[in-house]
């Protein structure tokens, strides 16, 4: 009874172009607009810190060459510690160190150069070292008349400290867009769908069959949870492929979060659909929840940018818990124990809304 | 004695100030097609929806299969099929999917293909319901009531608004269902439909049953007399002035006196040009009982 209803609900969803637009295309538009403008985009330049500990004409020539080349976005004047911290926080892609004894070692027959880089991105280190070697070879041919440039590059990986504050805007925003997508499905799909079915007389027809109210509600919850997984694959996938966001994906944790996320908004939608008798009334009620959840919770911008009053309001909204738990898991790779409290908060929301809806929902209304 | 499937006694219902049902009592026997005739607002749908468990009664008794409707509805639902007067189906499911979905709500199920064949929708099995015509959709709505092989069917104005061909098709479907031994509670405002399909008819108006019985009984009791219309020319008068006149004669003796009446005309020197005898039907029963025409 339930399985077939869920399958048909998903079929109906997939056949409804408008529903697909609001739940998948619309959040993706957000991704393209926000990540496109505020995220890193356009020409690809590595952000490289240059730390020079040596001096001399050969060193000067190398630095000038790097400056002229404009292959990297070059940061100069940082101390080694500052530069390494930059890599840890993800602000700098690599650090190029010209050590103290560089010139002297060079003339003695072999010098060493050190490149620090984000451990997860070996390709950055390779780009930096090969660009440097290319440049150095040109200089040594011209000025020293050497055919080879006797420099070895030491690559030192640095573990990046992941935190939401240090994440790129795209990495920050994509969990927000996913939250909006789940909200649209639950509020518009379920909250708008029930009054639509009521107006069309479908609920009265269902009421004459042995179908239980509980199953009618559960079909919506399952549908939303399954659709949430699809929405996540598409939105996170586009984030990774187009906006080059590297998320830490723990499939099991993420699935649990998405099920909670799909179900909370479906449950809230079910409550709205039980209260609102007509599509028009539902529309008003949906907006009462939809826009505050979108703008009062840290979907688009971090909570620290929100005014204190709004920050307080946002701490009760389910959208806040969902977007936070998604960020914790996807950006920081938090353990299940760390995301558990957020899941509890979402669980309380689910229980509360579902319980209330089960009292309010009726198949047929007395006229 | 034939078992009663539906027993309703002194059923009352008010909507605010309006008394929709003012004490309705009737029984529907097993294998019977019982038909409610009445204008819009007479109380037909309210009565049906109370029996179906969709509305709460104010007072009175309503039992289906011997179960009180308000307490035992969960025992009743698996055994009934309900076609509501209004109401769409999921528009983005196919004809076959709709039937399969509704069938999934029941433990006892009928083969979907056999239903599709019986309602002549096999060709359209894979079309979305939003593409169906009015007649096709109505056939599907009736088909959806058959998925659980119900013992009792509620058909609320199944042919209202349909073209004559679709209407006749649905009549033949209902006749077949009756032959199979289904009990059917039908409402209509088409007299022809009631006369053709019903074993018994209840005439309802203003929340009351005005008369109940087989159509023949009702017509004999309340239909009034047959009427003979005769058009004739008076031959005795000056032939230039003579013209055809119409005469209306009430036949008190069920029409047996018609030949004698015609003979009277000839004997009086009149040339009969046209004769028509109209026997009363349910329409006349209705007009006599309510003082108004049914068609609205």
Tell whether A84 and A28 lie within a shared domain: no
Q: What are phi and psi of B155, to 5 degrees?
A: -120, 110
What b/e string do you get for B238-277 counting C-beta neighbours within 10 Å, with b at 16 or more? eeeeeeeeeeebebeeebeebeeebeebeeeebeeeeeee
Tell me if A135 sits within 8 A of A63, measured CB to CB.
no
- Distance CA(B112)–CA(B118), nearest Å, equals 10
CA B84 to chain A, closest CA, distance in angstroms equals 7
Same domain assignment for residues A34 and A50: no
Residue B257 vs residue B114, higher pLDDT: B114
* Mean pLDDT, chain A, whole residue set: 88
Q: Are residues A242 and A216 located together in one domain of the fold?
A: yes
Per-residue pLDDT at B1: 66
- Sheet containing B18-29, strands listed edge to edge, beginning at the edge strand earlier in sequence: B18-29, B4-15, B59-64, B67-68
| Residues A226, A227, A228, A234, CA torsion sign | positive
Residue B147: pLDDT above 90? yes
How far B48 CA sits from the closest chain A CA (Å)?
Answer: 12
Residue A130: what pLDDT?
Answer: 82
**Count of C-beta atoms within a 10 Å radius of residue B100:** 16
Whether A367 sits inside 8 A of B15 (CB atoms) is yes
What's chain B's average pLDDT? Answer: 89
Band of residue B296 on the pLDDT scale cut at 50, 70, 90: very low
Q: Which residue of B has its CA nearest to A216?
A: B105
- In this prediction, residue B293 has a pLDDT band, given cuts at 50, 70 and 90, of low
Are residues A216 and A102 located together in one domain of the fold?
A: no
Residue B239, pLDDT score: 60
Classify residue A365: in a domain, yes or no: no
| Residue with more model confidence, A8 or A154 | A8
Q: What's the pLDDT band for A41 if we cut at 50, 70, 90?
A: very low
Q: Which of the four pLDDT bands, split at 50, 70 and 90, describes residue B294?
A: low
A97 pLDDT above the threshold of 50: yes
The predicted structure's pLDDT at residue A301: 83
Is the pLDDT at A46 greater than 50, yes or no?
yes
Q: Average pLDDT of B193-217?
A: 91
CB-nearest to A12 from B15, B53, B93 is B93
**Residue range B276-288: mean pLDDT, rounded:** 83
pTM here is 0.80
| Domain C-terminal end among A158, A189, A221 | A158
Instruction: State the pLDDT at residue A139.
Output: 78
Task: Judge whether A367 lies within some domain.
Answer: no
| The pLDDT of residue A159 | 81
A97 is a domain residue: yes
Q: Which residue of A has its CA nearest to B106?
A: A210
- A8 contacts on B by Cβ (under 8 Å): 90, 93, 97, 101
Do A211 and A319 fall into the same domain?
yes
Do A152 and A184 have their domain in common?
A: no
Average pLDDT for B86-96: 92
Between the two ends of chain A, the Cα-to-Cα distance in Å is 30
Residue A140's pLDDT is 75
> In the prediction, which pLDDT does B52 show?
94
Contact check, Cβ <8 Å, B87/A202: yes
Best B80, B99, B105, B143 residue to mutate vs chain A (most A CBs within 10 Å):
B105
Residue A37 and residue A163: Cα distance in Å, rounded?
22
Mean pLDDT, residues A70-84: 83
Residue A123: how many other CB atoms lie within 10 Å: 10
Q: Are A23 and A181 in contact (CB under 8 A)?
A: yes
Task: Verify whether the Cβ–Cβ distance B105 to A366 is below 8 Å.
Answer: no
Give the pLDDT of residue A133: 80
Which domains are delineated in chain B? 4-221 (3.40.50.300), 225-279 (3.10.20)
Do both A22 and A83 map to the same domain?
no
Report which DSSP code applies to B128: B
A366 domain residue, yes or no: no
Is residue A275 in some structural domain? yes
pLDDT bin (cut points 50, 70, 90) of residue A42 is: very low
Q: Can you give the pLDDT at residue A137? A: 78
Is A21 contained in some domain? yes
Residues contacting A230, CB < 8 A, separation 6+:
A24
* Least-confidence region, from A148-157, A213-222, A227-236, B100-109: A148-157
For residue B141, CA distances in Å to A7, B53, B83, B89, B225 come to 21, 19, 6, 8, 40
Q: Which two tokens stand for residue B254?
A: 């069920």
Which chain B residues touch A362 with a CB distance below 8 Å?
A: none
Same domain, A141 and A29: no
Shared domain check, A251 and A352? yes
Whether residues A27 and A102 share a domain: the answer is no
pLDDT, position A228: 96
* C-beta atoms of A208 and B100 within 8 A: no
Highest averaged pLDDT of the listed ranges A105-109, B44-48, B269-273: B44-48
Q: Which of A285, A267, A268 is nearest to A276 (CA)?
A: A285
Poorest-confidence range of A64-73, A159-168, A230-239, B125-134? A159-168
Same-domain pairing of A86 and A182: no
Q: In CATH, what number is assigned to the domain containing residue A102?
A: 3.40.1710.10
* For residue A136, pLDDT beyond 50: yes
Please indicate, yes or no, if residue A343 is contained in any of the structural domains: yes
Is the domain of A53 the same as that of A193? no
Residue range of the domain that includes A172: 2-39+168-360
Output the CA–CA distances (angstroms, integers) from residue A16 to A37, A104, A280, B128, in the order listed. 31, 72, 20, 12
- The predicted-structure confidence for B217-260, as pLDDT tens digits, reads as follows 888 888 777 888 889 888 776 666 667 888 888 887 666 788 88
Domain final position from A105, A137, A158:
A158
pLDDT in tens, A176-198: 999 999 999 999 999 999 999 99
Q: pLDDT at residue A84 above 90?
A: no
* Look-up of token digits 């029984």: B27
Query: Across the interface, do A209 and B84 touch by the CB < 8 Å criterion?
Result: no
In a domain, A273, yes or no: yes
Give the count of domains, chain A. Answer: 2
* Cβ contact B88–A202 (<8 Å): yes
Average pLDDT over residues A164-178: 85
Residue A143, pLDDT > 80, answer no
Contact B88/A12, CB-based, under 8 Å?
A: no
């Amino acid at each position: 009874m339930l399985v077939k209803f869920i399958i048909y609900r998903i079929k109906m969803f997939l056949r409804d172009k408008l529903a697909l637009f609001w739940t998948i295309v619309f959040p993706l538009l957000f991704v393209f607009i926000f990540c496109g403008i505020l995220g890193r985009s356009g020409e690809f330049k590595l952000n490289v810190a240059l730390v020079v500990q040596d001096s001399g004409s050969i060193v000067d020539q190398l630095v000038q060459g790097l400056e002229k080349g404009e292959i990297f976005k070059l940061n100069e004047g940082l101390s080694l510690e500052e530069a390494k911290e930059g890599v840890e926080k993800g602000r700098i892609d690599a650090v190029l160190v010209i050590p103290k004894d560089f010139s002297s070692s060079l003339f003695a027959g072999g010098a060493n150069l050190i490149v620090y880089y984000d451990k997860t991105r070996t390709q950055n280190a390779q780009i930096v070292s090969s660009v440097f070697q290319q440049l150095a070879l040109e200089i040594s041919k011209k000025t020293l008349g050497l055919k080879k440039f006797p420099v070895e590059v030491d690559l030192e990986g640095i573990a990046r400290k992941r935190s939401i504050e240090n994440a790129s805007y795209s990495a920050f925003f994509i969990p927000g867009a996913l939250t909006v997508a789940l909200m649209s499905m639950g509020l518009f799909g379920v909250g708008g769908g029930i009054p639509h079915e009521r107006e069309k007389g479908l609920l009265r027809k269902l009421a004459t069959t042995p179908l239980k109210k509980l199953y009618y509600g559960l079909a919506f919850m399952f549908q939303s949870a399954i659709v949430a997984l699809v929405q996540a694959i598409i939105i996170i996938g586009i984030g990774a492929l187009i906006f080059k966001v590297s998320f830490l994906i723990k499939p099991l944790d993420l699935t649990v979060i998405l099920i909670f996320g799909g179900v909370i908004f479906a449950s809230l939608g079910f409550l709205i659909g039980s209260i609102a008798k007509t599509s028009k009334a539902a529309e008003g009620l949906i907006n009462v929840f939809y826009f505050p959840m979108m703008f009062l919770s840290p979907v688009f911008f971090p909570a620290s940018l929100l005014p204190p009053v709004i920050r307080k309001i946002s701490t009760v909204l389910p959208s806040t818990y969902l977007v936070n738990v998604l960020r914790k898991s996807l950006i920081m790779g938090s353990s299940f124990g760390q995301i558990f409290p957020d899941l509890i908060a979402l669980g309380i929301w689910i229980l509360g809304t579902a319980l209330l809806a089960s009292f309010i929902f009726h198949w047929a209304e007395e006229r | 004695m034939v078992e009663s499937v539906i027993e309703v006694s002194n059923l009352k219902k008010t909507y605010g100030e309006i008394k929709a049902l003012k004490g309705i009592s009737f029984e529907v026997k097993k294998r019977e097609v019982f038909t409610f005739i009445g204008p819009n607002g007479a109380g037909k749908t309210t009565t049906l929806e109370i029996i179906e468990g969709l509305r709460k009664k104010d007072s009175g008794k309503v039992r289906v299969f011997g179960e009180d409707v308000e307490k035992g509805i969960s025992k009743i639902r698996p055994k009934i099929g309900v076609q509501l007067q209004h109401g769409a189906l999921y528009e983005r499911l196919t004809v076959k999917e709709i039937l399969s979905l509704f069938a999934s709500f029941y433990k006892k199920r009928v083969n979907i293909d056999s239903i599709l064949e019986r309602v002549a929708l096999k060709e359209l099995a894979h079309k979305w319901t939003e593409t169906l015509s009015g007649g096709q959709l109505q056939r599907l709505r009736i088909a959806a009531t058959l998925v659980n092989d119900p013992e009792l069917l509620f058909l609320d104005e199944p042919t209202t608004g349909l073209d004559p061909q679709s209407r006749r098709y649905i009549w033949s479907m209902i006749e077949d269902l009756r032959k199979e031994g289904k009990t059917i509670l039908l409402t209509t405002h088409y007299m022809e439909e009631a006369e053709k399909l019903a074993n018994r008819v209840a005439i309802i108006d203003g929340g009351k049953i005005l008369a109940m019985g087989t159509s023949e009984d009702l017509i004999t009791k309340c239909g009034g007399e047959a009427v003979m219309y005769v058009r004739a020319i008076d031959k005795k008068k000056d032939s230039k002035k003579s013209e055809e006149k119409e005469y209306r004669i009430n036949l008190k003796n069920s029409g047996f006196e018609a030949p004698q009446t015609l003979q009277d005309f000839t004997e009086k020197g009149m040339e009969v040009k046209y004769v028509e005898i109209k026997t009363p039907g349910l329409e006349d029963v209705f007009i006599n009982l309510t003082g108004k025409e049914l068609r609205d």
